[in-house]
Amino acid sequence: MPTDSGLATLSDQLILVTVLLYVFAMIGYALDLGFGRIREAVPAEDRVPARVGAGDGADTGGADGGAAETPAQEPPAWAARAGAVAVALTWLGWAAHLGAVIGRGLAVSRWPWGNMYEFVVAICLAAVTAFLVMQARQPVRFLGAFVTLAAALGLGFAVRYLHVQAGPVVPALNSYWIAIHVTAAILASGLFIVAGVSGILYLARKDGPSRLPSRAELEAVAHKAIVFAFPVWTFAVIAGALWADKAWGRYWGWDPKEVWSFITWIAYAAYLHARATAGWRGRSATIVQLVAFGCLMFNLVGVNIFLSGLHSYAQVP
């Protein structure tokens, strides 16, 4: 079918609007984080037992070195308002982002992740979606500055270096499997990105007073995201093998994309296994998680750009 150039242009314009909204949201989150509540680690032996009916200042405990996080001072009111505005801007950016993805798909009458540009745009959308869903369920607004920054940079990279005109894809991608295999990979990648951001913050968080949550809370956020993402990634790998059998007559052929998808799966499986059986916690588990995250990033971007194989139809300019 012919490409609808009007919808394609609208999609490109919405991406630019999305980047601007994410940047402004990032500034709001940064103000909220930089001038918001300072939390101070209090050793377990120095903690005062929580009173019955205590409010937000009650001790919640901690799993990181026996320390809990207690508020050291009240933040200025404008900092909290900046955070609330940032959340609203993120939702507006998410709506524009979603509109750009849908517009691209309608413009070409296919699933809108048939090349590297569309794939990176979709992964950024999945990461922001994962953050917003988590934000609606638990207080993880501290991640906002870093997730929106990552999304803005990812979209900027896609527009600057990966953008291709909307159009048809190679015959190998004209399959319902793209809606199954690639969609699962995108959803899992979005959750893995949130986990990766939490892991980086864990290593960056210093002892003593900080505006970041405790390391235990950061590790818990990362672990929860990976627990949800890992089975989805597993399904994506299996679906990819089934698609390969249909397209090329074999389930596995040691193509670079297949190899790195499996390496990524092993790395995240090692992280989950170490936590479940060996009781790994803290820095060691976070390092394993970030190694897995590095494998994921190379698989998503590096393999298509630097390695050649059966998946080298990503239309990288």
Both tokens assigned to 200: 């980086």
Q: What is the pLDDT of residue 93?
A: 97
pLDDT tens-place string over residues 135-156: 988 888 999 999 999 999 999 9
Q: What is the pLDDT of residue 213?
A: 86
Higher local confidence (pLDDT), 112 or 250: 112
Tally Cβ neighbours within 10 Å of residue 290. Answer: 19
Q: What is the pLDDT of residue 317?
A: 57
Higher local confidence (pLDDT), 123 or 175: 123
What residue type is 24 in one-letter code? F
Lowest mean pLDDT among 76-85, 98-107, 125-134: 76-85
Residue 45's pLDDT band (cuts 50, 70, 90): very low
Average pLDDT estimate for 167-181: 80
Q: What is the pLDDT of residue 44?
A: 39
φ, ψ at 310 (rounded to 5°)? -70, -15
Higher local confidence (pLDDT), 315 or 58: 315
* Pairwise CA distance, residues 2 & 207, whole Å: 59
Mean pLDDT of all residues belonging to the chain: 83
pLDDT surpassing 60 at residue 51: no
pLDDT surpassing 70 at residue 287: yes
Residue 249's pLDDT band (cuts 50, 70, 90): confident
Please tell me the number of Cα atoms within 13 Å of 192 on its side-chain side: 30
Both tokens assigned to 43: 């050793």
Please tell me the number of Cα atoms within 13 Å of 276 on its side-chain side: 8
Length of the chain, in residues: 317
pLDDT tens-place string over residues 157-168: 999 988 888 888
Highest mean pLDDT among 24-33, 71-80, 211-220: 24-33
Please tell me the number of Cα atoms within 13 Å of 47 on its side-chain side: 21
Q: What is the pLDDT of residue 122?
A: 95
Both tokens assigned to 80: 């909290």
pLDDT tens-place string over residues 181-225: 999 999 999 999 999 999 999 999 888 777 888 888 999 999 999
pLDDT surpassing 80 at residue 265: yes
Both tokens assigned to 211: 């505006």
Residue 261's pLDDT band (cuts 50, 70, 90): very high
φ, ψ at 73 (rounded to 5°)? -160, 160
Average pLDDT estimate for 109-136: 92
Closest-CA residue to 30 (of 137, 148, 135): 148
Average pLDDT estimate for 116-137: 93
Average pLDDT estimate for 245-268: 87
Closest-CA residue to 178 (of 123, 128, 244, 124): 244
